Every structure is written in structure tokens, then in C-alpha cells.
Structure 1
Amino acid sequence: MLLLVTGASAAGKSTTLAALTDAAWGLPLECADFDSVGVPPDADTAWRHAAVEQWVQRAVSLQTSGVHLVLFGQAAMGELFAAPSADRLDGVEVCLLHCSAAVRAERLRRRGYAEADIVHHMRFGEWFLRHTLDPADGAEVIRLDSAAGMRWGRWADWSKGDPRWAAEVIGTDALQPREVAARVEAWVRDAVTRARPSPLR
């Protein structure tokens, strides 16, 4: 199974990964940072598509040994579902960490981001939430031609409310990092125990 913990910049992904990497899971799983494959200076949407497929292949390899992959990174749900090898996964689950535009802006200012970049991240964060709730909302943002050979047709006719398009959404505005980590840990444990069949099969 591949469990994706995603979200736009400043939502809390990296902090949560750091908290959960060494957790006493008692479960056969591996936590990984999406960007650990190496992000080139000119990384774009096409690069991200290829990286998503690379991670899906890693998850497929792990599942042959009964190990689940918990992947933390900024990949959209539609990209994961369209990855060429995604239909080989026994299960796929998505958790979105989301913060409001105001909170995102403040967090990015503390990191030293330029105001123009902050505006971009704020807009992208709001799109990220809408896309996670509705596959038809702004799909053109990610549905681009790339060498990865993404299978957009898998979910092209899905709409909001389709049970196959389901994700956990955790708002991080009012939560301490340890609280976010605890909620993500609970989500992972529940998803692994529930073992919902992949919506792509």
C-alpha cells in the first residue's frame, strides 16, 4: 500500500515526517520524503510526474514484502492516481495537510520567502485543497503531457463525491506539530488496518 501525506508548502509535511520517521509503529512500513530522490534546479511538473511514478514503483516493490510506503511530499492526488504503475498497488490512500492562506503566508515569511513567491504558494495551496475534494476542479493544472506517460483517463470522468476519490483532510492552522503528527499517525494506522482495496483496480 502507498499512503501519501501531501499538501502545499508550509502545511506541515516535513515537520510531521521528522516526528514520525522514528515512531514505534509496530507495523511493516517505511516513511519517505518525496524530495529525497533529488530535486533538480529546473524541476517542473514533468519532473514531478516522473518522480511520482518512481515512488509508486518503490511502493509496488515494497508491497511484495508486505511493507507499506508512507510518502510525504507535494504531489497532487490526481498525479498519484495517474502514475502508470499506480494500478499495481494493492491499496492507495491520501491525506492532505492544509492550512489557510493567512497562516501559510506567515509561515513562509518566517522562512524568508519573497512576497511574490508567497502569493504563488497561497494560490497553489487553495487549488490543492479544491483538487483534493473535487477531481474536476482545475485538473488542467496537472494534466500536462510528459515523458512519464501519465494515465489521466483513469479518473477523467470522476466527479466530486465519487467514493473512489476520497482523502483525509487535516487542517493544521490551530494544531501544534505534535498534534498534527498524532493525527497523521492515527490515519496511517487506520488505513493500514482497514486495508481498503485500491480504487484503481
Structure 2
Amino acid sequence: MKLYFIGGASGSGKTAVMPNLKELLRDSIAVYDFDDIGVPDAADKKWRQESTEKWLQKLFSDGKDACLLGQIVLGEILACPSAKQIDKVNFCLLDVSDFERIQRLKKRNTYGLDQNMLNWSSWLRMHHQDPQWMQHVLLDDCWHGLDFSVLGQLVTWNSKAFVKALDTTSLTINQVAESIANWINQKNSHNGEPIPNSTYKVIVDHNPNQADNNALVEGLVVHYERLIGEPRDKEFSVFLKNDLGEIFGGIQAHFDTEQVYVEVL
């Protein structure tokens, strides 16, 4: 089971993108709106944090691949008791420029439109890049069921989350949906299992066999001599082998006077 979380401040496109995203993902991924849990009139930070745990419980109970969009904060997911069942959180932050955000919210006649909304979106942007940034925003007067000890030790998200940021400022709703769907499908197609055998070494071979031209990917390289530090017309290859000497993959390349030809093995 794989879970995907799409967050962002008001006006970033979470609600608007949902119908398009459901159409693109169809039956492969269940798509949920965070607010479907029921939003009380006095909804606050504690409600959001407790509701995040309730959503995790529901998703794990359902036991199927799912995508949850809405008032979700990455650090709060990790602090939930149910987060212990997640190896790494798949989290995408939808973002938008301040001016465009305000224009969208004005069109929606959003109640209480003020600078605080921009402050919250700015904090989310920083939180997505730096887990240590102003953690008191989450911790002060938080829901009693959360444990922020893991968050407190993180310098980057690398060990606990796969993070993506998507700027929706100049994108149509369908383009946003396609970007999210592509991200989910790409993550979903990866089985997440490590390559067998735990010992690896990288072997550089400066005299590989001639590559198969039908399998080449061609691309222009500017200032290639300075970039690769080698004379012209050089070939090299890098192979990944396990401790049994078996090749799992690698890259083979040939450089000429204008181009680099690369073959993924």
C-alpha cells in the first residue's frame, strides 16, 4: 500500500485539482479530500492535527493505495502515532505566488482574507525545505496525541520523506493534475525494494565496447572539454556490480567534438 499526501495553503489549487486528478488516476489510486472528515466551525490547529491522525487510521484500515489532498503538514504527519507504519512519506506541496494566491482567493470570496494567509503559506514553503524552521508553529498548543521527537532531530527530510514542490502559479488546473498524476505514477511504478546483495563497488572502464547506436540517447554538451576534463573523442563507462561480480546496470558514453552519446545499460 502506498500513500500520497498533497498539501498547501489556501489558493494553491488543492480543491480545484481534485476532479481532474480523480479522472487521471481513475481506479488505480483512491483520491480523498481532507475536509471530507467534517470541518467544525471552530476548526483550529488541534483539530487539523487530530484529523491528520484519523485520516491515517482510515487509510491504513482501507489498505489500498490512496492520495489525500488538503490541510496536511508534513511535520504533523510524521508526529502522528500511525506514521510509524510509513517508511517514507510521499509529500507534494502545492505552492503559488502571493499575488496569484490573493487573486484566486478573492474570486472565491474567501472569508478572512488577510496577511496571515500569506504568512502561513510562507511558513509552509520554508517547512517543506527545512524541517527545523520555526517548529514552534506546530508545537505550541498542539494536539496532545502528537510526538514531535522525530521532527526535532531532522536536519533534512531525506531519511523520512520524499518531497516535491509544485508551483501552480502559471499552470492550468489540468496541468497541475497531470503533474501530480505523473509524480504519483512514477513513485507507484517503483517497487521500492533494494537491489539484492549489500556490497557494491563502482568500476570505471575507459575502453568499453562500442555502444549500440539504436539504444543511444543524444544530447548537446557545451564546453565539454572543461566539463569532463578529458581530451576529445574519449569513451568511458561506469558499471554497478554486486559482490558476485554481476552487473546490475551502468552508463556508457562516447564524447566527440560536438556531442555526448550516452547508453544506459
Question: Are 2:80 and 1:83 aligned?
Answer: yes
Residue 167 of structure 1: SS of its match in structure 2?
strand
Alignment check: 8 A CA contact 2:91 2:161 kept: no
Identify which of 160, 164, 175 aligns with 1:168: 164
5+ unaligned residues in a row in structure 2: which ranges?
Answer: 194-265
User: Residue 185 of structure 1 aligns with which residue?
Assistant: 181
User: Residue 149 of structure 2 aligns with which residue?
Assistant: 153
Alignment check: 8 A CA contact 1:19 1:181 kept: yes
Question: When the two structures are aligned, how many residues end up with a matched partner?
Answer: 192
Alignment check: 8 A CA contact 1:135 1:165 kept: no
Q: When you count strand as a share of all residues, which structure comes out higher?
A: 2
Alignment check: 8 A CA contact 1:50 1:147 kept: yes
Alignment check: 8 A CA contact 2:79 2:150 kept: yes
User: Residue 7 of structure 1 aligns with which residue?
Assistant: 8
With CA pairs under 8 Å and 6+ residues apart, which has the higher RCO, 1 or 2? Answer: 1
User: Closer, same or farther in 2 for the Cα pair 1:97/1:13, shift >3 Å?
Assistant: same
> 1:117: Cα distance to partner?
2.5
Residue 75 of structure 1: SS of its match in structure 2?
coil
User: Residue 59 of structure 1 aligns with which residue?
Assistant: 59
Q: When you count helix as a share of all residues, which structure comes out higher?
A: 1
Structure 2 Cα separation of the partners of residues 147 and 163 of structure 1: 25
Residue 81 of structure 2: SS of its match in structure 1?
coil
Computing the radius of gyration from Cα coordinates, the structure with the larger value is 2
1:154-195 Cα distance to aligned partner (Å, 9 max, x none)? 121111364434410000011111100000000111121225
User: Residue 90 of structure 2 aligns with which residue?
Assistant: 93
> 1:143: Cα distance to partner?
1.6
Alignment check: 8 A CA contact 1:82 1:150 kept: yes
User: Closer, same or farther in 2 for the Cα pair 1:119/1:195, shift >3 Å?
Assistant: farther
Question: Are 2:116 and 1:125 aligned?
Answer: no
Structure 1 Cα separation of the partners of residues 76 and 25 of structure 2: 30
> 1:148: Cα distance to partner?
4.7
In angstroms, what is the RMSD of aligned CA positions? 2.0
Structure 2 Cα separation of the partners of residues 190 and 163 of structure 1: 19
Residue 9 of structure 1: SS of its match in structure 2?
coil
Identity of aligned residues (%): 27
Structure 1 Cα separation of the partners of residues 11 and 61 of structure 2: 30
User: Closer, same or farther in 2 for the Cα pair 1:124/1:196, shift >3 Å?
Assistant: farther
Structure 1 Cα separation of the partners of residues 169 and 91 of structure 2: 19
Structure 2 Cα separation of the partners of residues 96 and 195 of structure 1: 23
Shifted more, 16-25 versus 36-45: the winner is 16-25
Question: Are 2:114 and 1:113 aligned?
Answer: no
User: Closer, same or farther in 2 for the Cα pair 1:84/1:148, shift >3 Å?
Assistant: farther
1:106-126 Cα distance to aligned partner (Å, 9 max, x none)? 111112236x62311111111
AA paired with 1:124? W
What's the TM-score once normalised by structure 1's chain length?
0.87
5+ unaligned residues in a row in structure 1: which ranges?
Answer: none
Structure 2 Cα separation of the partners of residues 119 and 112 of structure 1: 15
Structure 2 Cα separation of the partners of residues 46 and 195 of structure 1: 35
Residue 181 of structure 2: SS of its match in structure 1?
helix
Alignment check: 8 A CA contact 2:89 2:160 kept: no
